[in-house]
Structure 1
Amino acid sequence: MLAEVVERAHTLKLLKFISGSDLEAANCLLTANRHLVNAKIFLTIERRPLHSAITEGSLEMVDELLSYMSEEDVKIQDEGGRTALHFAAMSPGNTKIAESLIRKNKELLTIPDDQGKYIPLVFACQTGHKDITHYLYKETTPAYLLCPENQNQAASVVIECVRSKLFGIKQIYDLKLTHVYAHELLLLISKSIAALNVDEIRQSSVVEAIINASERGMTEFIVEIIKTNPDLLISIDKNSRTICHIAVAYRQEKLFSLINGHDAVKYYFLDFTDNYGNNMLHLAGQLEPTSQLKLDQISGAALQMQRELQWFKEIESIVPPAFKEYKNSFGATPYEAFDQSHANLIKEGEKWMKDIAQSSTIVGTLIITIMFAALFTVPGGYNQDTGIPLLLSKKLFKLFIISDAISLFASSTSVLIFVGILTSRYSKDDFLTSLPKKLIIGLSALFISIATMMVAFSSTVIILLKGQLEIVIPIVLLATIPICLFVWLQFPLLVTITMSTYGPGIFDRKVRKWL
Structure 2
Amino acid sequence: MEELHKRQLPHSLQVSVAYMKHMDSSDDQSIVVEEEHPSLDIRLQKPKETNHLTFHQSFYEAVQLGSLPDVKKFLEADSSLLTTRFTQLEANVIQVAVLAGQPEIVDELLQRINDPKSLKVKNNYGETTLTLAAAKGEIDIAKKLVSKCDELVGIKNLSGDLPVVQAAHFGHNEMVHYLYSRSEKHLMNTSERAKEAETYEDEGEPYGDSLKVLNVSINTELYGSEKSYNFKLVSEDLNQDSSGHADAQALTLYSSWHNGFRLFKACITTEIYDIASAIFKQDPRQCIKGMKEEKGAALKTLALRDLAEPTGFQYALVTWIHSHIPAWASGHTLVKHVFSWYDKNYKRRIDARQLLTDICRQLSILKLPPTTMPAVLSDPILTAVSMGNVGFIEVVARECPDMLWFEIHGMATFAHVVFEGQDKIYSYLRKNTETHCLLGTIRPDRKGNTILHYAAMLSPAPRLSHFAGPSLQMQGELQWFEEVKKIAPMCEGVVNRDDKTPTQLFTEEHKELKESGEKWMKDMATSCSVVATLIVTIMFATAFSVPGGNQSDTGIPIFLESKYFTIFILSDAFSMFFSCTSALVFLGIHTSLFREEDFLIRLPMTLIAGLFTLFLSIATMMVAFSAAVVLTVRERFVWITLPMLMCAGIPVTIYAVLQIRIFIHIVKLTFPGIFHHPSLAMKWKQMSSTRKLLIW
Place the TM-score, normalised by the shorter chain, in its bin.
0.7 to 0.9
CA gap of 1:394–1:473, structure 2 versus 1, over 3 A, is same
Cα deviation digits, residues 351-381 of structure 1 (max 9, x gap): 2212211111111111111111111110111
Contact in 2 for aligned 1:11/1:41 (Cα 8 Å): no
TM-superposed deviation, 1:201: 2.2
Displacement of 1:107: 1.9
- Alpha-carbon deviations, 1:265-285, whole Å to 9, x = none? 134332422233211111111
Is contact 2:417-2:426 (8 Å) kept? Answer: yes
Q: Using the alignment, how far apart are the partners of 1:401 and 1:109 within structure 2?
A: 84
* 1:203-243 CA distance string (max 9 Å, x none): 741333334333334344434433343332302211x2112
Retained in 2: the 8 A contact 1:11–1:39? no
Relative to 1, partners in 2 of residues 1:334 and 1:18: Cα closer, same or farther, differing over 3 Å? farther
Deviation at 1:74, TM superposition (A): 4.7
- 2:560 pairs with 379, 386, 392, which one? 392
Deviates most, 108-117 or 67-76: 108-117
Q: Is the 8 A contact 2:384 2:393 kept in 1?
A: yes
Structure 2 counterpart of 1:112, which letter?
L
What corresponds to 1:276 in structure 2? Answer: 447
1:223-372 alignment to 2 at 5 Å? 223-238=394-409, 240-262=410-432, 264-270=434-440, 271-288=442-459, 291-321=460-490, 323-372=491-540
| Per-residue deviation, 1:470 | 3.8
Alignment of 1:51 onto 2:51: no
Per-residue CA deviation, residues 358-407 of structure 1 (Å, 9 max, x unaligned), is 11111111111111111111011101001111111222111111110000
State the match for 2:615 in structure 1.
447
Q: What are the Cα deviations for residues 225-262 of structure 1, in whole angstroms up to 9, with x where unaligned?
A: 33343332302211x21121111111111221233344
Note the C-alpha offset of 1:163.
1.4
Q: Relative to 1, partners in 2 of residues 1:372 and 1:46: Cα closer, same or farther, differing over 3 Å?
A: closer
Structure 1 CA distance for aligned equivalents of residues 412 and 177 of structure 2: 46
Aligned-partner Cα distance in 1 for 2:359–2:99: 49
User: Is 1:101 equivalent to 2:175 in the alignment?
Assistant: yes
Partner of 2:655: 486
Aligned to 2:90: 17
With over 3 angstroms needed to count, the CA separation of the structure-2 counterparts of 1:461 and 1:365, relative to structure 1, is same
1:325 counterpart SS class: coil
Alignment match, 2:645: 476
Percent sequence identity is: 29
Q: In the aligned structure 2, how far is the partner of 1:218 from the partner of 1:74?
A: 41
1:270-320 per-position Cα deviation (integer Å, ceiling 9, x unaligned)? 2422233211111111115xx321221221111111000000111122223
- Structure 1 unaligned segments of length 5 or more: list them: none
The C-alpha deviation readout for 1:415-440, integer Å capped at 9, x for no partner, is 11111112222222211111111100
Query: 1:278 is paired with a residue of what secondary structure?
Result: coil
How far residue 493 of structure 1 moved from its aligned partner, in angstroms, is 1.5
Residue pair 1:380, 1:390 contacting (<8 A) in 2 also: yes
**1:193 Cα shift?**
1.3
Higher Cα Rg, which structure: 2
| Superposed displacement of residue 75, structure 1 | 1.6
Q: Counterparts of 1:25 and 1:370 in 2: how far apart (Å)?
A: 75
Q: Choose 221-230 or 471-480, whichever is displaced more.
A: 221-230
Q: Give the 3 Å change call, closer, same or farther, for CA 293–324 of structure 1 in structure 2.
A: same
Secondary structure class of the residue paired with 1:87? helix
Q: Does 1:206 align with 2:377?
A: yes
User: In 2 relative to 1, CA 472–18 (structure 1 residues): closer, same or farther, beyond 3 Å?
Assistant: farther
The aligned amino acid for 1:39 is: V
Kept in 1, the 8 Å contact 2:261–2:287? The answer is no
Q: Provide Cα deviations, 1:95-151, integer angstroms capped at 9, x if missing partner.
A: 3xx25734864526866377345356533267x5xxxx13x23x6397x47x95455
Using the size of structure 2 for normalisation, the TM-score is 0.61
Query: Which whole-Å CA distance do the structure 1 matches of 2:446 and 2:619 have between them?
Result: 57
**CA distance 1:227–1:104, change in 2 (3 Å):** closer
Equivalent residue, structure 2, for 1:140: 275
Q: CA contact under 8 A between 2:85 and 2:91: conserved in structure 1?
A: no
User: Is 1:123–2:258 an aligned residue pair?
Assistant: no
**Contact 1:151–1:192 (Cα < 8 Å) also in 2:** yes
Instruction: For 2:179 and 2:373, locate their aligned partners in 1 and report how far apart those are by CA, in whole Å.
Output: 37
C-alpha distance in 2 between matches for 1:272 and 1:25: 60
Residue in 2 aligned with 1:86?
165
Query: CA-to-partner distance for each residue in 1:428-457, whole Å, 9 max, x for gaps?
Result: 221111111110000010000001001111
1:379 aligns with 2:547: yes
Q: Is the 8 A contact 1:450 1:483 kept in 2?
A: yes
AA partner of residue 590 (structure 2): L
User: CA–CA distance in 1 between the matches of 2:674 and 2:370?
Assistant: 42
CA distance, structure 2, for counterparts of residue 217 and residue 421 of structure 1: 34
The 1:18/1:41 distance shift into structure 2, 3 A limit, reads: closer
Distance of aligned partners of 1:166 and 1:499 in 2 relative to their CA distance in 1, 3 Å threshold: closer
- Kept in 1, the 8 Å contact 2:568–2:624? The answer is yes
Counterpart code for 2:653: C
**CA 1:109–1:380 in 2, change beyond 3 Å: closer, same or farther?**
farther
Whether the 8 Å CA contact 1:46–1:77 is kept in 2: the answer is no
Deviation at 1:181, TM superposition (A): 6.0
Q: Does 2:532 correspond to 1:459? A: no
CA contact (8 A) 1:109 1:120 kept: no
Give the whole-Å Cα distance in 2 for the aligned partners of 1:69 and 1:82: 17
Match of 1:268, SS?
Answer: helix
Q: Which residue of 1 aligns with 2:155?
A: 77
Cα separation, partners in 2 of 1:469 and 1:72, compared to 1, 3 Å? farther
Find the residue that maps to 2:506 and give its secondary structure. helix
Contact 1:109 1:121 in 2 (8 A): no
CA distance in 2, matches of 1:496, 1:243: 29
Q: Does 1:409 align with 2:577?
A: yes
2:478 maps to amino acid: L
Shift of 1:196: 3.5
Provide the C-alpha distance between the structure 2 equivalents of 1:65 and 1:125, rounded to a whole number of angstroms. Answer: 19
Deviates more, 1:10-19 or 1:350-359: 10-19
1:188 aligns with 2:358: yes
Contact 1:254–1:507 (CA under 8 A) maintained in structure 2: no
> One-letter code of the match for 2:260?
Y
Q: Is contact 1:81-1:113 (8 Å) kept? A: no
Give the Cα–Cα distance (whole angstroms) in 2 for the partners of residues 24 and 222 of structure 1. Answer: 44
In structure 2, relative to structure 1, the CA distance for the partners of 1:311 and 1:125 (3 Å cut) is: farther
**Aligned residue in 2 for 1:170:** 308
Please tell me the residue identity of whatever aligns with 2:427. S
How many residues align structurally? 484
Tell me the equivalent position of 1:215: 386
Gaps in structure 2 of 5+ consecutive residues: 1-22, 26-79, 190-256, 311-342, 683-696
Task: State the distance in 2 between where 1:47 and 1:373 align.
Answer: 85
Aligned partners of 1:334 and 1:24: how far apart in 2?
A: 65
CA contact (8 A) 2:84 2:92 kept: no
Residues of 1 paired with 2:127 and 2:567: CA distance?
86
CA distance in 2, matches of 1:443, 1:298: 18
| 1:141-162 deviations in Å (ceiling 9; x for gaps) | 97x47x95455689789x6564
